[in-house]
Amino acid sequence: MKIPEIKLNDGNKIPQFGLGLWKIKTYEEIKIAFDSAIENGYTLFDSAQVYGNEEFLGRAIKESKIDRSKLFITTKIFISNFGHKKALKSFDESLKNLDMEYIDLILLHFPVTLLRKKTWLALEEIKESGRAKSIGVSNYTIRHLEEMKKYAKIIPAVNQVELHVFLQQPELIKYCLENNIVIEAYSPLAHGKAMYDKTVSEVASKYGKTYTQIMLRFLLEKGLVVIPKSTHPERIKENIEIFDFKLDEEDMKKLSKLDKNLRTCWDPTLVP
C-alpha cells in the first residue's frame, strides 16, 4: 500500500502516516517494530536524540538493506543540546548514530525560552548544507511560531505537537494551515487515557473499525501527518489499516465535539 504524501513548504514531501519510536529502548524492540512497519507499508520513522534509539534505528535500516531514499527519517534536537554550537555538534552525532549522510526532517524538540533562536539558526545552516532536507519544530504554540518571523530566514516545514480527538487544538491547526506549516500529530491515541468514549465507540461500530482506527482516521481527515507509536506487530498493522474508508461529515462533527484539552505530555502553552 502506498501511503499518501503531503507537500511541505520547501518542496519536499512527507508521508502522511508513520511510526513513532518514543520509549522504545532496545534494539530488539526497534527491530521488531521496524520490520513489522516496513512489511505493512510504513516509510516514515520518527526518532529523537532523547529517545536513545537513533543507533538502533540506523542499524535496523542497514540490516534491512532497504534503499535509504525510500525512507523518511525524522529526529529531534533535545533541549540539553540547544544553543548554536551544541545543536550543530549533536546533529553530527545523530547522523553518526543513524549511520546516514542526511536526515529527512530535523526538529527542535521544545521551545526552550532563551536558546530557541540560536538553535533554529543552526538548523537553517544544517538545511543549507544539505544534511537535512527539511527543518521544523515540535511543541511550538502560535506565540512561538509568530516570534520566529522576527529571526527565521526559513519558516518551519513542520510543527509536531500532541494532537488527538481529545486535544484538537483547532486554533493552532488553522494558524499552521494559513502559514503553510504542516502539523504532525504525536500521541494520536492519547496514550490510551481516553479509550472508553461512547461516541468514538459508536462511530467505530458504524464503519466496522476499531476505536483506535477511528481516532487515527479523524486526524487524517484533517490533513495532518499522524505518527502512532507501537512495538506490537498486530497493532502496527491495525493502525495503518485506515486508508480504505473515510469518515462522513456528520461523524467528523460528532468527533469534533469531544475536544476537552486533554494533554498527556508536556504543556508548551506555559513556556514564554
d(CA 98, CA 65): 14
All cell numbers assigned to 10: 520547501
Helix (H) or strand (E) holding 105: strand 103-108
For 104, which DSSP code?
Answer: E
Check if the beta carbon of residue 186 is closer than 8 Å to that of residue 137: no
| 209 CB-near residues (< 8 Å, 6+ apart) | 217, 242, 245
3-state SS class at 94: helix
Q: All 3 cell numbers of residue 70?
A: 525510500
Marked catalytic residue, from 42, 51, 140, 186? 51
User: CA torsion sign, 121 to 127 to 130 to 132?
Assistant: positive
How far CA 244 is from CA of 43, 116, 184, 208, in Å, comes to 18, 41, 21, 11
Catalytic residue at 196?
no
Contact 10, 19 (CB under 8 A): no
**What DSSP line would sit under 43-84, residue for residue?**
-EEE--GGGT-HHHHHHHHHHHT--GGG-EEEEEE-GGG-SH
Which residues participate in catalysis according to the annotation? 51
